Structure 1
Amino acid sequence: MKVYLESFGCSASLASAEIMKASVERLGHELLGPAAAAEAEVYICNSCTVKYTTEQKILYKVRSMGEKGVQVIVSGCMPEVQLEDILHANPEAHILGVNAISRLGELLSLIERRMAEGLPAGGYLELRTSEPLGFLNVPRERSNPNIHICQISQGCNFACSYCIVKNARGKLRSFPPEDIVKDIRSAVAEGCREIWLTSQDDSQYGMDTGVKLPELLCMISEIPGDFKVRVGMMNPFSVLPILDELVDAFDSDKVFKLLHLPIQSASHSVLKRMNRLHKMDAVDEIITKFRTRFEDLSLFTDIIVGFCDETDEDFEETVEWVKKYRPEKINISRYSPRPHTKAFSFRNLDSRISVQRSHTLHKVCEQIKLGSKQEMIGWKGRVFVSKYTEMGDVLTRTDAYRPVVISGSGLKPGEYANVEITGAKPGYFMGKLIG
């Protein structure tokens, strides 16, 4: 069969998509690219339900592909919490549970049998598993052959009032550390030079089993080979109990000095309504300890603007925090009410207020990034070669994960080089080799 797979959402979702693509090809089906999507007999939608706009885009694709006579499979988070919406859009859409990516081949075989025998659709097929299976040590069709995305756990043990993903992925289930190490060891042997550790919250890893994230990072750092590890998003309230050990684990030469710490808001009243279990003094403690140890640290954060009953004063607290701590990257989201969450029943702000606050914060962030980029011009230091660009150049990373593109160098992924940053573009720096 001709199969087109489209994935939405986070890096964990992307990792699942890579595994499912490999499964499609291993079973002898033809995996189509976006340009040939119109030829598909089967459309696999690896869904995301974090934002309303994404949800609506997915439901449109599920509906329109079905109307064209294409067999539709919906995987990812949406089937776990919005099954009725999916089946309303396409009553014949087949369902693959978020934990059941290893059963995709079984589902495709059932669909192929129906098609070969000319049987009527007969309603949707649904395959699920209660525990996550097939996320590690399996073949995958990587989006970039130099980058391996390793999901280290499924689910979350906390309950932010706005978050629907907890309902979709369930309680925390940390994957065995020995399986993670084996998965990464194999990826490095296959030529991957950048390892992304991903989950709903990396710093929760091991809270249900005993081997915590710092110990896991030490185990990964002992794997032979030239590679670097990017640790994914970590919530302040789950970082705090392991803070000292985590800073020590980041001291490894194989770990990028990148701290992705979502605050969502700097207002304690908003954080309370969000059921975010941290105070801003804890955030300050975390950032201070990381910056004290790693002077050249990159700080990423996530912020939701326009959350229920957020006042002008609440928003201004967040703006002032951003100006003080100057994160290199901020993922800004306008609050989007999600079904089955506690905040769904809260009173929402006028959307025009959310739009205005989003624009204001974006302007502040752009000013900060512009200043930071100018400060980096003339920087000299060691970089790690991550991957080739589409233009044939190489994308390198500083120890703090800042991207530097080098042209005409002959460098290969996995190598180190000394460079000078000579200029800045919107998404990266330009550099040249130095002795």
Structure 2
Amino acid sequence: MKVNISTYGCSANQASAEIMKASVRDSGHELVPAENAEVVVINTCTVKNTTEQKILHKIRELGEKGTGVIVTGCMPQVQLEDIMHQNPDAHILGVNSISRLGHVLDSMEHAKGSSKENFKVFMPEPEGFQSVPRIRYNPNIHICQLSQGCNYSCAYCIVTIARGSLRSFGPDEIVDDIKRAVDEGCREIWLTSQDNGQYGTDRDVLLPQLLEMICRIPGQFKIRVGMMNPFSVTPILEDLLVAFDNEKIYTFLHLPIQSASDDVLKNMNRYHSISEANYIIERFRARFTEMTLFTDIITGYPGETDDDFRKTVDWVKEYRPEKVNISRFTPRPLTKAWDLRKIDSRIIVNRSNELHEVCEAVKLESRTGLIGREVDVFLSKDAKQDGMMARTDSYKPVIIPCCGMEPGVTCRVFIYDATPGYFLARIVRPY
């Protein structure tokens, strides 16, 4: 069958899509562009209402055209009725069941011309996420999912409901998965999950120890540790700082604060105060002077006052994160925040726009600090522009036009300019 895979959402979903693409190929089916597909696999995300509505529209539209549809990702776990209402003929692959895609495609092919049958596969535990074939979005980057699920229940978050409680994959499985990727030529490893800081709290190996195991893998590669919540970092902070002090790990910290108001954090059922998040950032910056900070912020959460919002704006100005993922609050079904009284949408839009302007100003100012300096960079992948995308030790993006070198190499560069999205550099010398 001719199959297309359409993916939304996080890097864990991207990793699942890479595995499913290989599954399509290895089960004897053909990967094609969406317009040529007999079957479209929609790998869904349900974090935001706008994304959900786009996906539901696509599910309905494909069904009306007579194209086969398989829906996977988070939505089938929590919004199965909505999916089936839009397309009663849709087939379902639960979030733990991506390894069964080939079987579902085979079943669909054998059922052609007979009475229509919906295939629904929901597995209680994740299967087929480690050391399996992939067709990667970028051959130099391997996305390794450390775990499935989360043991916390932030009031706005539907992902915990969709993916269930934490199940950490075995540390030896993870190490073998990354060894295989490095042997296949990957030079950048992204560690992902719903919250990397929780890794191993259901096992006997925590994240710092896992990082030490990964860093012992032979070869030249770099590790990007993905999002960690403040409340999951606090218990492992000292060991995590030591683990990050390895040349293979980017000094990159993605720490979502969501708000700088303790009142809002309490209403969100977050498990940290803003002072606890600040302490983590200060400890990282004291140890790693070139550290890069990413964070996530929700504007317009129910009950957020002007004063609460001003605290968040002031926090951005003081802590100066290099990137802020700003989300306007939209209630998600089945969450504790679903029934809360909403703030006027115009207020939410105004707050989001103001925060965006502040974040852009902070980012622009931070860009000027590297111009005119020589720094070491790791060549990561071919750039969309002519040249090579490289990363500093703190994961700052650097484009080297007309590079002439292969990914996986460290070299010294001179940074001569910056755009809103990246720095521009020329090579001084390779190592």
- State TM-score, norm by structure 2: 0.99
One of 115, 118, 126 as aligned partner of 1:120: 115
The answer to whether 1:310 aligns with 2:304 is yes
Q: Partners of 2:339 and 2:402 in 1: how far apart?
A: 56
User: Partner residue of 2:84?
Assistant: 87
1:329-368 CA distance string (max 9 Å, x none)? 0000000100000000111101111100000000001110
Q: Partners of 1:210 and 1:351 in 2: how far apart?
A: 46
Q: Partners of 1:390 and 1:398 in 2: how far apart?
A: 18
The answer to whether 1:26 aligns with 2:26 is yes
Q: Partners of 2:156 and 2:149 in 1: how far apart?
A: 15
1:127-148 CA distance string (max 9 Å, x none)? 1110000000000110000000
Q: Partners of 1:408 and 1:164 in 2: how far apart?
A: 44
1:2-41 CA distance string (max 9 Å, x none)? 10110000000010011001100111211013xxx12211
Q: Which amino acid in the other structure matches residue 32 of structure 2?
A: L
User: Partner residue of 1:163?
Assistant: 157
One of 343, 352, 356 as aligned partner of 2:350: 356
User: Partner residue of 1:198?
Assistant: 192
Offset of 1:390 from its aligned partner?
3.2
Offset of 1:388 from its aligned partner?
0.9
Structure 1 residue ranges, 4+ long, deviating more than 6 angstroms after superposition = none
User: Partner residue of 1:111?
Assistant: 108
One of 412, 428, 431 as aligned partner of 1:434: 428
Partner SS for 2:309? helix
User: Partner residue of 1:145?
Assistant: 139
Offset of 1:283 from its aligned partner?
1.1
One of 42, 45, 59 as aligned partner of 1:62: 59
Offset of 1:420 from its aligned partner?
1.1
Tell me, which stretches of 5 or more residues in structure 2 are unaligned? Answer: none
User: Partner residue of 1:12?
Assistant: 12
**Equivalent pairs, count:** 429
Q: Partners of 1:107 and 1:18 in 2: how far apart?
A: 17
Offset of 1:392 from its aligned partner?
4.0
1:81-125 CA distance string (max 9 Å, x none)? 00000000001100000000011111111101011xx11324x21
1:285-328 CA distance string (max 9 Å, x none)? 10111011100000000000000111000000000000000000
Matches within 5 A, 1:169-248: 169-248=163-242
The answer to whether 1:50 aligns with 2:47 is yes
One of 366, 374, 392 as aligned partner of 1:372: 366
Q: Which amino acid in the other structure matches residue 10 of structure 1?
A: C
Q: Partners of 1:243 and 1:39 in 2: how far apart?
A: 50
User: Partner residue of 2:274?
Assistant: 280
Q: Partners of 1:51 and 1:120 in 2: how far apart?
A: 36
The answer to whether 1:406 aligns with 2:400 is yes
Q: Partners of 1:422 and 1:93 in 2: how far apart?
A: 53
1:174-232 CA distance string (max 9 Å, x none)? 00000000000000000000000000000000000120000000000000001000000
Q: Partners of 2:347 and 2:406 in 1: how far apart?
A: 48
Partner SS for 1:390? coil
1:226-264 CA distance string (max 9 Å, x none)? 100000000000000000000000001000000000000
User: Partner residue of 1:326?
Assistant: 320
Q: Which amino acid in the other structure matches residue 164 of structure 2?
A: G
Q: Partners of 1:383 and 1:72 in 2: how far apart?
A: 43
Partner SS for 1:342? coil
User: Partner residue of 1:382?
Assistant: 376
Q: Which amino acid in the other structure matches residue 339 of structure 1?
A: P
Q: Partners of 2:168 and 2:35 in 1: how far apart?
A: 39
| Greater Cα offset, 146-155 or 381-390 | 381-390
Partner SS for 1:265? coil
Offset of 1:161 from its aligned partner?
0.2
Q: Partners of 1:39 and 1:175 in 2: how far apart?
A: 37
Q: Partners of 2:384 and 2:48 in 1: how far apart?
A: 30
Tell me, which stretches of 5 or more residues in structure 1 are unaligned? Answer: none
Partner SS for 1:195? strand
Q: Partners of 1:55 and 1:65 in 2: how far apart?
A: 15
Matches within 5 A, 1:63-78: 63-78=60-75
Offset of 1:391 from its aligned partner?
3.7
Q: Partners of 2:142 and 2:330 in 1: how far apart?
A: 31
The answer to whether 1:258 aligns with 2:255 is no
Q: Which amino acid in the other structure matches residue 62 of structure 2?
A: M
Partner SS for 1:317? helix
Q: What is the CA RMSD across the aligned residues, in angstroms?
A: 0.8
Q: Partners of 2:371 and 2:2 in 1: how far apart?
A: 49
- State TM-score, norm by structure 1: 0.98
Q: Partners of 1:425 and 1:239 in 2: how far apart?
A: 32
Q: Partners of 1:379 and 1:112 in 2: how far apart?
A: 59
| Greater Cα offset, 378-387 or 160-169 | 378-387
Q: Partners of 2:386 and 2:78 in 1: how far apart?
A: 43
Q: Which amino acid in the other structure matches residue 389 of structure 1?
A: A
